[in-house]
Amino acid sequence: MFEWFKRRPEAQKESRAGEVMFTGKRQAEWSLSGDRVRASDYAQEGYQKNVVAFQAINKTGDAVAAIPWIIRRPNGDELTDHPLLRLIRRPNPMQSGSEFMRALVGFYRISGNGYMERVMVGRQPREIYTHRPDRMSVRPSITGMPSGYRYQVGSEHVDWDADPRTGISDIRHIKAFNPLDDWYGMSPLMAGAYAVDQHNESMQWMQSLLQNGAAPSGAMELGEGALTDDQFNRLKAEIDEKYSGSRNAGRPMLLEGGLKWTQMGLSPVDVAIIETKYSAARDVSLALGVPPLLLNIPGDSTYSNYKEARLAFYEETVIPLVHYIRDELNAWLSPLFDGVELDVDLDKIPAIAEKRLELWSMADASTDLTINERREIKGYEAIDGGDEIMVQSSLIPLSMASEPLDLGLGEPLEDNPLAPSNERSRLTAADLKSLAYAPKTY
C-alpha cells in the first residue's frame, strides 16, 4: 500500500470521477446528440444569415467593449498605469482593446467557447490574441484537465501544452456551461436553434413571395383540349420570363387560346407566417439575453419603456458577462503580474449611472443612516467622525406638539404674568401656531 502512495503522490488532487469520465479515448463533440453541429454552423446559420442574432450578438459585444478597465493592487488601491492595464488596452499590434473584446464576446456568444493565447516574453505576457473556435480543439486527459490545445487550418496545425494537473497553459479557454459535454461550452444558439430556423424560413418565404411579384400563387385553366409539350414548355418559359420576379410585379398577363388565370388568395397559414417571424425573433433575442425592445422587434414587450429594457440588458446580460471575463483574465494573468487584478468601472455605464443616482438620492434623503453608511452605499471609504446619525435641528417629536409650552421664564404659560389675561388657560404649540398666523387687527 505504501508503494502505491509513492508511485502516485498527486493522487489525492485528482477527481475520482476522472477515471470514468475523462478516458481520453473518445473525440470531443460539439453537439449533445444526433447530428454533429460545428461552430461554423452556428456562425453561418445563427449569425451570418439571421439578422436578429447578428444584432443581438453585436450589441452585447459593443456593450462589453465600451466598459473601461481599471487595475487594482491586492489591497484594493487603484493604479493609474500598469503593464497589465496596457496589455488589456492594446492586446496585440493588430487589435485595440475594444476590438479584442468584441471578437472574444462574438466567438463566445456564437459558439459558447472563447480561446485566448498569451505570448510570453520572459516571465510576463506581452501580447494576447483571440482565436476562432471552429479551428481550436481540446486534447483531453484522464485528470479532467486538458493536456493541450490545437489550432488547425487544413493540414497545418499548432499545438500548445497544458499542465494536466493545474490546467496552466498559454491558452485560456472560456466556455459556457454545458451539461452534457466535458470539454466544450454550449452555444446559446443551440437553445434557440428552432427559433433561428423558423425566422430564417419565414424570411425565405417572404423573399420567394417578393420574387413572384408579391402575389400569391394561382392556377391557369384551359377551356377545352390539352396543350402539347411544345405549347406547355413555351407557356411556362414565357411566364417565368415575363411575369415572375419582383421586376415584373403588377404586369398584366396576356392569355390566348382559351386560357384563363384564376387568382388564389392567401391562406390563413400564409398570413400567420409574418407573426411567426416576429415570434421567432423574440425567441432568438431571449436565447441571447437581449430584450426585444432593444432590437426593434414588434410585439408585446415586458418593459414599459426603452430605459427599463436597457437597464435590464446591462444588469442581466452585460455585467455578468464582463465579470466572468474579468475573473477569467485575473485567474490567467494576475499571478504573472505580482497579484494585481483587473476590474471594470461600472460607474461609467450610463444605464447603471442613472440607477445609482436614484440610490444615492434615496441614501441622502434618509434620516436613519450615518454619513459612513451613506458613503458605503456610494462606494466610498469611511471617514473619521462619520458614524453619528445626523438629524435636522428644526424637527421635534410629534408628541411634543401637543404638550404645554414653557416660555423659558421659569413658570408655565398659564401662570406667566406676561401672558394675556384671557389667554391664561393651558396653551399648546398648535394654539400658538394658530395665533401666529391669525390676521392682525388694529
In tens digits, what is the pLDDT along the chain, a chain of 442 residues? 434 434 444 444 444 343 444 444 444 333 323 345 677 888 888 888 899 999 999 999 999 999 999 999 988 888 889 999 999 999 999 999 999 999 999 999 999 999 999 999 988 999 999 999 999 999 998 888 999 999 999 899 999 999 989 889 999 999 999 998 889 999 999 888 888 888 888 888 777 766 665 555 566 666 566 667 777 777 777 766 666 554 555 555 655 556 666 665 555 555 677 788 888 889 999 999 999 989 888 776 666 788 888 889 999 999 999 999 999 999 999 999 988 999 998 877 877 777 777 776 777 777 677 777 877 776 677 887 777 777 666 666 666 666 665 555 444 545 555 555 544 445 555 565 565 555 555 4
Beta strand residue intervals within 3-112, DSSP E = 69-72, 78-79
Torsion of CA 225, 227, 231, 234, to 10 degrees: 120
Distance CA 320, CA 314 (A): 8
Distance CA 65, CA 359 (A): 26
Task: Say what the pLDDT of residue 109 is.
Answer: 95
Distance CA 141, CA 143 (A): 5
Helical pair 51-66 and 319-333, crossing angle rounded to 10 deg: 60
Would you tell me how many other CB atoms lie within 10 Å of the CB of residue 414? 12
Task: Say what the pLDDT of residue 290 is.
Answer: 93
Closest CA to 215 of 258, 171, 251: 251
pTM of the shown model: 0.69
Phi-psi region of 338 (alpha: psi -120 to 50; beta: other; left: phi over 0): left
Helical pair 268-287 and 193-211, crossing angle rounded to 10 deg: 140
Closest CA to 277 of 385, 188, 186, 204: 204
Cell 452585460 sits on residue:
318
Q: Which cell is 149 given?
A: 490545445
Three-state SS at 222:
strand
Task: Say what the pLDDT of residue 2 is.
Answer: 38
Contact 414, 400 (CB under 8 A): no
Cell 456568444 sits on residue:
109
Contacts of 116 (CB under 8 A, 6+ apart): 104, 128, 129, 130, 131, 171, 172, 174, 332
- Sheet containing strand 171-175, strands side by side: 124-131, 113-121, 171-175
Alpha-carbon Rg for the chain, nearest whole angstrom, is 36
Show me where the domains of the chain are located: 2-191+310-334, 194-290, 401-436
